[in-house]
């Protein structure tokens, strides 16, 4: 994936890093507290993931805008202030328009401020890059985090409740009540899956799966390089 613009910014690499190579949950292992606590259903995971994504996008863009005017000695407090202000706006908006979902997610909405992934992107990327690049980085880092939340939520919901997309109306309105799918009739549930230890196990399986895919891909690429004529000439 190579989408380099005129300024030399490779947007394809930024997107790939956010979704896979440098995924906040899979690779950086940041923001695990809310990830493990509220990802017991797809809707809960999606709600928290989108809130985190909005925070990443907004904070990255604002940090990038002011990066030339903030002195290095005070940059971290300024970044935290920007993130806290953004989260406050998102929290109040969710309380107004998604009140029931807001009540379920509870303290983990304001705790987005303490998510290490957000301050890490502000410091490592947004403070050194342009606004468009920071927007792309924040968006796809957030989407990568959301994808893990939703996948983990789906696994835990299926095993723990035997359903999928339960309480979809909390995010998509009353018309979404029919979205819920019951996979197992008269299913009593599996308590471990909906408790935090089940989230640890589920995340461990997901990370193991990603590592297996990466190793297979690397082995395949190495095999192709060794079989290519140029590689054969160099080796000879």
Q: Is the pLDDT of residue 158 over 70?
A: yes
Q: Is the pLDDT of residue 233 over 80?
A: no
Q: What digits encode the pLDDT tens for the residues 200-212?
A: 999 999 999 999 9
Q: Which of 94, 86, 194, 92 is nearest to 142 (CA)?
A: 86
Determine what percent of the chain is predicted with pLDDT higher than 70: 93
CA-CA distance, 136 to 130, in Å (whole number)? 10
pTM of the model: 0.91
pLDDT tens for each residue of 61-71: 999 999 999 99
The pLDDT of residue 33 is: 83
State whether residue 81 is helix, strand or coil: helix
- Residue 1: pLDDT band (50, 70, 90) is low
Closest CA to 169 of 161, 178, 160, 181: 178
227 pLDDT band (50/70/90 cuts)?
confident
Q: What is the mean pLDDT of the chain?
A: 90
Q: Is 124's pLDDT higher than 60?
A: yes
Give tens-digit pLDDT for 91-111. Answer: 999 999 999 999 999 899 999
Confidence of residue 163 (pLDDT cuts 50, 70, 90): very high
Please check the confidence at residue 198 and state whether its pLDDT lies above 50.
yes
Q: Over 90: is that where the pLDDT of 234 sits?
A: no
State the alpha helices, DSSP H only, in 75-195: 75-97, 99-105, 116-124, 131-161, 169-172, 191-194
Contacts of 35 (CB under 8 A, 6+ apart): 25, 145, 148, 149, 152, 199, 203
Please answer whether residues 52 and 31 qualify as being in contact, where contact means their C-beta atoms are separated by less than 8 angstroms: yes
Q: Assess whether pLDDT exceeds 50 at residue 47.
A: yes
């Amino acid at each position: 994936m190579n989408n380099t613009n005129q300024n030399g910014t490779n947007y394809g690499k930024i997107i790939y890093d956010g979704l896979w190579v440098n995924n906040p949950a899979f690779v950086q292992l940041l923001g695990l507290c809310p990830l493990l606590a509220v990802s017991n259903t797809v809707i809960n995971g999606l709600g928290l993931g989108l809130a985190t994504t909005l925070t990443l996008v907004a904070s990255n863009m604002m940090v990038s805008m002011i990066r030339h005017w903030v002195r290095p000695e005070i940059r971290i407090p300024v970044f935290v202030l920007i993130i806290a202000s953004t989260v406050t706006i998102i929290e109040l908006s969710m309380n107004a328009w998604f009140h029931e979902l807001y009540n379920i997610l509870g303290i983990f909405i304001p705790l987005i401020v303490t998510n290490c992934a957000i301050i890490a992107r502000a410091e490592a990327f947004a403070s050194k890059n342009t606004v468009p690049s920071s927007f792309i980085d924040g968006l796809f880092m957030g989407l990568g985090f959301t994808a893990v939340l939703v996948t983990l939520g789906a696994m835990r919901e299926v095993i723990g409740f035997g359903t999928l997309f339960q309480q979809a109306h909390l995010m998509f309105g009353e018309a979404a009540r029919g979205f819920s799918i019951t996979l197992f009739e008269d299913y009593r549930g599996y308590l471990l899956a909906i408790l935090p230890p089940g989230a640890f196990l589920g995340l461990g399986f997901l990370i193991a799966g990603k590592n297996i895919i990466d190793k297979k891909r690397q082995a395949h690429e190495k095999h192709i390089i060794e079989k290519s004529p140029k590689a054969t000439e160099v080796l000879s």
